[in-house]
A and B are shown apart, each in its own frame.
Chain A
Amino acid sequence: KNQVEQSPQSLIILEGKNCTLQCNYTVSPFSNLRWYKQDTGRGPVSLTIMTFSENTKSNGRYTATLDADTKQSSLHITASQLSDSASYICVVRRAAGNKLTFGGGTRVLVKP
């Protein structure tokens, strides 16, 4: 079954600290993996997209990694800011049929 699992479900970190979010997937065949940031009550905004051949991609203080062999991705947030408080959603696209599978998200709360 094509699934996307994210961990942890929620995370509290202090402002200025780093954190890493995990995404494991079983979607096959794989097309690409995207990380979205969703502020409460608002639509998701894309942070990064990674294809099979890409291992690392950065967007400011956000760095995503992909290991297509183990079907794992991570999103690393460096020097967190209060505005990083949001849900982070991992979405994997299946090559056959172009279907998207969404992870349940990780809710991050950054405290001063």
Chain B
Amino acid sequence: DSGVTQTPKHLITATGQRVTLRCSPRSGDLSVYWYQQSLDQGLQFLIQYYNGEERAKGNILERFSAQQFPDLHSELNLSSLELGDSALYFCASSVEGGGYEQYFGPGTRLTVT
């Protein structure tokens, strides 16, 4: 158990819909990262937040957005969902945004039908 929690574990929704994925970092970690992993694909970095502020952006679509709240939990919002958005979405946290180890959550499996 990494100490990072993600909800929900599974999510099934239809195309065109909007969903919100939630992540609670490890106690004391200020930085949160979001990743997408499609079937049999590598991890794709989406976005990073540090202490409430956006720190780095990866391959995140305009239909996707995220935020980190004052209590440091983070939410990833996915809108106008397409079949290709079906994937595992992982959240990771670290103490700071630099070279510190990232601890990954168990992931949320999103299925778009």
Contact = CB atoms under 8 A, between A and B. Distances in A.
Interface in A55-112: 89, 93, 97-100, 102-105
B70 interface: no
Nearest to B107: A43
Contacts of A97: 56
Taking residues whose C-beta sits less than 8 angstroms from the other chain, chain B's interface range is 20 to 34
A82 B4 CA distance: 26
B47 to A, nearest CB: 12
Contacts of B104: 43-45
B105 A43 contact: yes
Interface in B58-100: 88, 90, 92, 97-99
B23 to A, nearest CB: 11
Interface of A: 31-32, 34, 41-46, 49, 89, 93, 97-100, 102-105
